[in-house]
């Protein structure tokens, strides 16, 4: 899921359609009424826009139930080998973006490996259908411009649910809508019909890969919204630190001593530990 609304900003040839779509979405959002809000909605400092977010989330869930999930289930009917070929090829389109982002994050070895991966898989992997690079030890990296901003020290900002695209935050939204579309090879396919078809299939394929996770969340989550939000925020933080984020100590976790009666109800505003601008390697 790389573009989407970003297309409205990046393309002058077809703004009308996108505007109509956005208008329709807004209408559905308004008509859809309100998501049920928990009493503490908006109190989480990471999610001040929770009320709006929950409504967009509801809308996305409806869109998913009606269109995306059925399409993904249909996609799953394809033979596994063919799906893997598509999946690899779609990932390969992100190759240059990953290499560029690793460069911007000051990881030249990773970037060189990414370039190698892209070349090997594009040529010997027949356009990325196969993944001989992994057999050569050039492993997949997962990078995008949102992460690069994080590495540069930008804070994530408030949590944000983007219509159709799903969970994000202000920093990642800048990356995914403002920068990633231009780094993704999908954008440079000249034939519009092909460009959009590939883009749509990528989304369907990505959704298909999440079907099992979706079932797990159905069972495990008491509140899908906060489950998905918290998982997203944790996962993004982990990605920025390439899987090794420093431990965040929650003052509430200091458990063993019973709370003294005289403790003021208000928690100190500095409850969130200071985040280093430069993550560990």
Partner 1 sequence: MLLSLLRSHLPGLKLVRLWTAAITLAATGVALAQAATAPDAMVRDLTVEVLDTIRADKSIAGGDIGRVQKLVDEKILPYVDFQKMTQLAVGRGWRSASPEQRAALTREFRTLLVRTYSGALAQVKDHQVQMRPYRAQPGDTDVLVRTAVVPSRGEPITLDYRLEKQDAGWKIYDVNVLGVWLVENYKSQFAGEISAGGIDGLIKTLTERNRQLAEAKKA
Element (H, E) at 168: strand 166-169
Convert residues 162-191 into a mask of x (bound to partner 1 by CB under 8 A) and - (unbound). Answer: ------------------------------
Is residue 146 within 8 Å of 104, Cβ to Cβ? no
In terms of CB distance, is 5 or 144 closer to partner 1? 144
Residue among 222, 261, 266, 270 that touches partner 1 (CB under 8 A)? 222
Q: Does 239 bind partner 1 (CB under 8 A)?
A: yes
Tokens of 41: 């909605």
Residue showing tokens 């519009």: 192
Residue showing tokens 């509140």: 223
Of 66-95, binders to partner 1 (CB under 8 A) are 84
Residue showing tokens 């996305």: 60
Residue among 24, 234, 273, 277 that touches partner 1 (CB under 8 A)? 234
In terms of CB distance, is 197 or 238 closer to partner 1? 238
- What interhelical angle do 224-240 and 211-220 show, nearest 10? 120
3-state secondary structure of 255: coil
Q: Does 155 bind partner 1 (CB under 8 A)?
A: no
Burial class of residue 233 in the structure, from the number of CB atoms within 10 Å of its CB (0-12 exposed, 13-18 middle, 19+ buried): middle
Burial class of residue 174 in the structure, from the number of CB atoms within 10 Å of its CB (0-12 exposed, 13-18 middle, 19+ buried): middle
In terms of CB distance, is 59 or 130 closer to partner 1? 130
Size of the site for partner 1 (CB under 8 A): 33
Residue among 23, 38, 106, 246 that touches partner 1 (CB under 8 A)? 38
Residues of the shown chain interacting with partner 1 in the complex, contacts defined by CB under 8 A: 38-40, 44, 84, 140, 212, 215-216, 219-223, 226-227, 229-231, 234-235, 237-239, 243, 245, 247, 250, 252-253, 255, 258-259
């Amino acid at each position: 899921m790389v573009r989407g609304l970003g297309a409205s900003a990046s393309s002058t040839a077809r703004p009308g359609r996108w505007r109509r779509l956005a208008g329709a979405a807004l209408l559905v959002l308004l008509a859809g009424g309100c998501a049920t809000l928990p009493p503490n909605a908006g109190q989480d400092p990471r999610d001040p826009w929770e009320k709006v977010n929950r409504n967009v989330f509801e809308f996305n869930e409806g869109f998913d139930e009606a269109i995306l999930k059925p399409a993904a289930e249909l996609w799953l009917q394809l033979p596994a080998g063919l799906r893997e070929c598509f999946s690899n090829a779609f990932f390969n389109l992100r190759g240059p973006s990953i290499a560029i982002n690793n460069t911007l994050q000051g990881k030249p070895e990773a970037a060189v490996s990414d370039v190698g991966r892209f070349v090997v898989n594009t040529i010997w992997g027949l356009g990325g259908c196969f993944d001989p690079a992994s057999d050569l030890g050039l492993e997949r990296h997962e990078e995008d411009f949102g992460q690069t901003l994080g590495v540069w020290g930008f804070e994530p900002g408030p949590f944000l649910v983007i219509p159709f695209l799903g969970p994000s935050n202000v920093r990642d939204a800048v990356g995914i809508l403002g920068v990633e579309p231009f780094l993704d090879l999908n954008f440079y396919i000249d034939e519009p019909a092909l460009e959009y078809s590939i883009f749509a299939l990528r989304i369907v394929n990505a959704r298909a890969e999440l079907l099992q996770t979706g079932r797990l969340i159905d069972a495990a989550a008491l509140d899908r919204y906060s489950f998905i939000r918290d998982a997203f925020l944790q996962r993004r933080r982990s990605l920025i630190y390439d899987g090794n984020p420093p431990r965040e100590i929650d003052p509430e976790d200091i458990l063993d001593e019973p709370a003294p009666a005289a403790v003021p109800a208000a928690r100190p505003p500095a409850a969130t530990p200071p985040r280093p601008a430069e993550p560990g390697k």
